Amino acid sequence: MGQAVLILIKPDGLKKSLTGNILTRLSETKLEIVAAKMVRVSKELAQEHYKHLKDKPFFGEIIKYLQGDFHDRKKVMALVYWGNDAITKCRELAGATNPEEAESTSIRGSYGRITTSGVYENVVHVSSNVPEAEREIKLWFTPDEIIVDLYATKDVVKKELSCKIWADK
Ligand code: UDP
Ligand code: MG
């Protein structure tokens, strides 16, 4: 059955120039990329993404990690992959959460590390089940940014919406 999954190449993956490598590994799954963008991650977005972990002792650190505070820039690459068993296939390729426990050939096993303060810098995020994938995809992307219709949408007219445009336009 077709499934969608959110993949994030976290700031350590970008800083270590692993983007091409990770995308190549993911292409082994034969899944389709249906959305992709670079994101400057706000504290609000990071906190919402990891809200189910807010009572964990490492919550503050993983928010800083996802925001890029440990890697020069607020930068994450967000992608949606779609296809058969997308979640299982991508989780398997990513490997276990703890990079020391992840299979050595997996993405996290190959490139992840545990920092001296105990954060698992594990290079990628992969949604772990169908409801989580839906919540996360809706958090990171608008319907217009995804090239297929994954979830129900509605039309609204937005008034007085403030946004940035190029200064010379
Ligand atoms: N994490 C950590 N220490 C832990 C557990 C998690 O640093 O003991 C970090 C790690 O970067 C992980 C993220 O928090 O990817 C989210 O944790 P989760 O349990 O959702 O693992 P995942 O779904 O990413 O495998
Ligand atoms: Mg998770």
Active site residue 52: no
Could you read off the pLDDT of 59-105 as tens digits, one per residue?
999 999 999 999 988 899 999 999 999 999 999 999 999 999 999 99
Alpha carbons 132 and 129: distance in angstroms, whole number: 5
- Residue 2's pLDDT is 93
Which residues does the chain have with pLDDT short of 50? none
Region at 118 (left for phi over 0; alpha for psi -120 to 50; beta for the rest): left
Domain boundaries in the chain?
A: 3-145
164 Cα to the center of ligand 2, angstroms: 32
Alpha carbons 69 and 93: distance in angstroms, whole number: 26
Chain position carrying tokens 């609000």? 44
- Residue 147's pLDDT is 98
Task: Note whether 64 and 115 are within 8 A (CB).
Answer: no
Which CATH fold topology does 3-145 show? Answer: Alpha-Beta Plaits (3.30.70)
Alpha carbons 165 and 39: distance in angstroms, whole number: 17
Ligand 1: which residue has its CA nearest to atom 12?
97
103 Cα to the center of ligand 1, angstroms: 16
DSSP 87-113: HHHHHHHH--SSTTTS-TTSHHHHH-E
Ligand 1: which residue has its CA nearest to atom 19?
97
- Residue 73's pLDDT is 85
Q: Which of 49, 52, 71, 125 is catalytic?
A: 125
119 Cα to the center of ligand 1, angstroms: 8
